[in-house]
Structure 1
Amino acid sequence: MTPQEILKAHLSKTITLTDDEFSYFFSHLKPLSFKKGESIITEGDTVSCEYFVLNGCLKTYYVNDDQKMLILQFAMSTWWASDYNALYNDVKATVHVDCITDTDVLCLTSEDRERLCREIYQLEYFFRWRSNKGFVATQRRLLSFMNNDARHRYEELLNMYPQLYNIVPKHLIAAYLGVSRETLSRLYQS
């Protein structure tokens, strides 16, 4: 599929745009390609874009004072990623976004997103809907961390996103679940 087809199929699950509206929206997106291991956002950066993943996989993570990586999100095809605190609040990035695999994205600036949402109601609806889905997912993940053991969190992730286990190295899945690589190995084998 072309980038246009991927994005159009993604949007059409939530909204309907005319061909002209979609072309206008697509004209504001910049295609970018990154290699495995390449950083898109690094702590301290100024962030002006969010990224729609066409193919590949990104990780959003934070490195704490003990130099431990804490993964906030994996972003596979048709997912969006950025440092949203930095993007929306005009502060320096506190998280990193980098590539687990070679990845192609479409970059949308915050300025363009806001203008497009004012001009095309359906896009405003889409971005609000997407934000709400993100809030719900974040709440579920926090509640799972507060209430469930590592085995349950592992099984939840496996059930929700089985494709992650074919793309993401086990040490990164362990970091997402908040467990050691050894603990994940025990869970993975049982």
Structure 2
Amino acid sequence: MHPLRTHIERITPLTDQEFSYILGHFEEKKLRKHQYLVQAGTYDRFDNWVLGGCLKAFYTDQEGKDHILQFAAEDWWIADYQAYFNQTPATINIDCMEDCQLLQLSVHKREKICSEMHKMEHFFRKKVTSGYIALQQRILSLLTHNPRGRYEEFLRLYPNLSSRIPKKYIAAYLGVSRETLSRLYNEN
């Protein structure tokens, strides 16, 4: 079974004909390690479902410091959603930490399949709700946990990512220095 179908069917069942129609709205894209998917100031025309590889979404502040907002590995979605839905220039960057294979869906095609298929409107509503909850939990974690607590939570939530992502990026995601992360890593 196609991995995207498995992903969608965790929320709603599909017939072969429905899945074939849905898949026809996606475009496949392959990127190399260190290649940008989205750069701040450009337009993000696609929501991206990760078939293979790992990406990071980050914001670079005025001092040149990167703040990682999200990682995305297999079976995750990633985009600059403000730019994607509003069709405005991107405010964040997304680049590949590994070679990546993506399925891309334009906002127009997303709206089309959602208007034609209640199942897909339901699927995307559930995904958006889950994403909003995860974002709220991430913000609360940053506000209420000390570095050790944030690191332990990261390991608990994403056990397979810690071995794939360089420590400097995990540190940027947790809002700590590389040295603090090294100390926490060595204490575990």
TM interval, shorter chain, is: over 0.9
Q: Are 1:97 and 2:94 an aligned pair?
A: yes
For residue 152 of structure 2, what is the aligned residue in structure 1? 155
Pairwise mapping of residues 126-145 of structure 1 onto structure 2 (< 5 A)? Answer: 126-145=123-142
Alignment counterpart, residue 4 of structure 2, candidates 4, 7, 26: 7
- Kindly state the Cα deviation for residue 92 of structure 1 after the two structures are TM-superposed: 0.6
Structure 2 segments unaligned to the other structure (5+ residues): none
2:145 counterpart letter in structure 1: N
Pairwise mapping of residues 30-41 of structure 1 onto structure 2 (< 5 A)? Answer: 30-41=27-38
Q: Are 1:168 and 2:161 an aligned pair?
A: no
For residue 136 of structure 2, give the secondary structure of its aligned residue in structure 1. Answer: helix
- Kindly state the Cα deviation for residue 121 of structure 1 after the two structures are TM-superposed: 0.5
For residue 180 of structure 2, what is the aligned residue in structure 1? 183
Alignment counterpart, residue 66 of structure 1, candidates 63, 74, 82: 63
Residue identity over aligned pairs, in percent, reads 42
For residue 19 of structure 1, what is the aligned residue in structure 2? 16
For residue 51 of structure 2, what is the aligned residue in structure 1? 54
- Kindly state the Cα deviation for residue 94 of structure 1 after the two structures are TM-superposed: 0.3
Distance in 2 between residues matched to 1:134 and 1:100, nearest whole Å: 22
- When normalised by structure 1's length, the TM-score is 0.97
CA RMSD, aligned part only?
A: 0.7
1:146 counterpart letter in structure 2: L
User: Can you list the C-alpha shifts for 1:49-68, whole angstroms capped at 9, x where unaligned?
Assistant: 11000011010000001100
User: Can you list the C-alpha shifts for 1:101-152, whole angstroms capped at 9, x where unaligned?
Assistant: 0010001000000000000100000000000000000000000111110100
- Kindly state the Cα deviation for residue 171 of structure 1 after the two structures are TM-superposed: 0.3
- Kindly state the Cα deviation for residue 48 of structure 1 after the two structures are TM-superposed: 1.3
1:43 counterpart letter in structure 2: A
Structure 1 segments unaligned to the other structure (5+ residues): none
For residue 102 of structure 2, give the secondary structure of its aligned residue in structure 1. Answer: strand
4+ residue segments displaced more than 6 Å? none
For residue 20 of structure 2, give the secondary structure of its aligned residue in structure 1. Answer: helix
